[in-house]
Amino acid sequence: MKRRQFLGCLTAAASSYVLVACGGGGSGAGNGSNASGGTTAVANASTAGTSTASPNGTTVPSAASIVDNGANVWTLSNGLIYKNGVKDPNSYNVIMLLWYGGSVYQENTSKAFYQYTGTTWVQCLDPRLGGTSADGTAIPPASYIIDKQSNQYTLTNGYIYKNGVKDPYSYNVSMLLWYGGMIYQQGTGGQFYVKTWMNTWKPCRDPRINMAATAGSFYGINGHYDYPFTPTQVVTALQALGCTTYRVGLVNTSTQLSRVVALAKAFQTAGMTLFTLLDFGLRDSTGTLFTSESAAYSSAYSGSAAIATALAPYGVTMYECGNELTRDPAIILNSATAGTSNADFNNANWPIMRGAIRGMIAGIKSVQPNAKVGVNFCVADIAASDMLWDGMQPDGSGGYPAVHWDITTWHNYQPYGDIFNVGTDGAGPGFNLPSYCKARYGVPFMITEWNASPEQNETFRSGYVTQQLGEFYAARKTQGVQSVMYYELTSGDYTYGIVLDDLTPIQPTYGSFQSFAKSNPDN
């Protein structure tokens, strides 16, 4: 039995950078004029080490000097900073010095702030503004928003300003919103837009509007058509665990189709949900990459239509189109990237994936027009989902067939990070991925695979199950999380499964899952 392949050691670390203070040191800083700081007295160096620190919040002006925790005396004269009487070589056009929270700050004539690190000045915000804004902060009534990277957003006369610089792609803005780790704007016409990591604004819905998922399919688990169990045994195993949804993949072969049809019959009788993964990919039967979008479309269409024809009589109404196709080596350029940038993906092969997904959707809908179809993504592949939804290529060109789906499906294993605060391609702190998808696509969200890393022991996995289910459950009524499907029922060992091949529960993980499902009903 093939085991799941993980993206190894994936971490999306927040980037950091140090800027030479444009209140000093940078040739492009300021307006070239010297601004008086309000005092001409330069402290004598002999005073260093003899004074106590100034009160928190002291500024020059109006004070004549600041004393830091090291008893260094800071003064300001004609726009220049002096420390213990020695002119700072990297400052000019300074209008204010500030002592706050144990650090010295400067503000220059451009209204930019910098913090002294002990050796240099690092650009920052006015520390008196506070840290990251509370989730849901809006302008108005707030006067500013601070994001997780300490960027300050303001709104003046319908224009957005980031750190004092006017956004070239915004006008007629009536509101700015900080929600789920993202910046949103609302135009005077009522339309919402979200700012992406590509520095573009994409149309969306108001992310604050709750989306309540349909009850009855929340607790799910993955399985395989070739498990050594009868359909009745699978149904019984799921019922004992508290699951109502079973995800199983197949392609159009007689062996796979006959076994999944037998499962569908059993699930229909039990009143449970069989969520069928159409596992068509980017290659033909010989393993060769399809030569065109149309070739991939035709192959996926015929196979998907045949599967839908066989399963429709037995109550199957939801399908997932493709499994981690955005992570196929022909599509992802570097598997260690998070997927939030268009440049993460292969432009030449992108049409092949698009054709395969379009073919699966069209094949199902040709047989079951009212069936619900999902498209699957991994890690933080927001750039991939946006490009498909908007009919875009990784090179930024547009006008291609747009791929829309009824369910957004995602995989969220432990190495990928918390899906409600998932990292990006080195571009900073995390964001709420289901919230973003809710706003952008407006359809229910499913986590169709999740688990801890395979090397974790069962004590860790048990705690992880409880913690993750708690997060997932809380998001059902707000982020439209309709179903979460643990990977998997059995892996034949202790790497992923929750039971062994004889259906013996793997404890304490099994008990944690069962107990949570029992205590938190799916209603």
pLDDT score, position 111: 81
Per-residue tokens: 373:
């179809």
Output the pLDDT for position 344. 96
User: Domain boundaries in the chain?
Assistant: 45-127, 138-204, 219-519
Looking at this protein, which amino acid is placed at residue 93?
N
Tell me: the pLDDT tens digits for 194-206?
999 888 999 999 9
Domain 219-519 has CATH 3.10.290.10: no
User: What is the mean pLDDT of the segment spanning 289-294?
Assistant: 98
User: Cis link prior to 141 (omega < 30° from 0)?
Assistant: yes
Angle between helices 382-390 and 433-441 (to 10 degrees): 0
Q: Where are the alpha helices (DSSP H) in 376-508?
A: 382-390, 433-441, 458-474
How far is CA 12 from its chain centroid? 10
The helix, strand and coil proportions of the chain, stated in percent and rounded to the nearest 5, come to 25, 25, 50
For residue range 326-354, list pLDDT tens digits in order.
Answer: 999 999 999 999 999 999 999 999 999 99
Contact (CB, 8 A) for 147 and 178: yes
Please give the single-letter amino acid code of residue 15.
Answer: S
* Contact of 452 with 464, CB cutoff 8 Å: yes
**Of 5-9, 271-275, 304-308, 376-380, the least confident:** 5-9
Banded pLDDT at 130 (limits 50, 70, 90): confident
The DSSP secondary structure of 63-98, one letter per residue, reads: SS-EE-TT--EEEEETTEEEETTEEPTT--SEEEEE
Q: Is the pLDDT of residue 7 over 50?
A: no
Cβ contacts of 178 within 8 Å, gap of 6 or more: 133, 134, 135, 136, 137, 138, 145, 147, 153, 184
Q: What is the pLDDT of residue 459?
A: 97
Residues facing residue 96 across a β-bridge: 107
Picking from 151, 156, 152, 150, the residue whose alpha carbon sits closest to that of residue 170 is 156
Mapping DSSP to helix (H, G, I), strand (E, B) and coil, where does residue 175 land?
strand
Entry field: residues in the chain: 523
Percent of the chain with pLDDT over 70: 90
pLDDT (0 to 100) of residue 123 = 86
* Statement: residue 28 has pLDDT above 90: no
Give Cα separations from 353 to 280, 283, 305, 409, 411 (angstroms): 10, 10, 18, 16, 18
Query: Is the confidence at residue 395, as pLDDT, over 90?
Result: yes
Task: Please choose, from the candidates 357, 486, 335, 517, the residue with its C-alpha nearest in 3D space to the C-alpha of residue 411.
Answer: 486
Write the burial class of residue 476 (CB in 10 Å: 0-12 exposed, 13-18 middle, 19+ buried).
buried
Contact 485, 465 (CB under 8 A): no
Residues 45 and 85: beta-carbon distance below 8 Å: yes
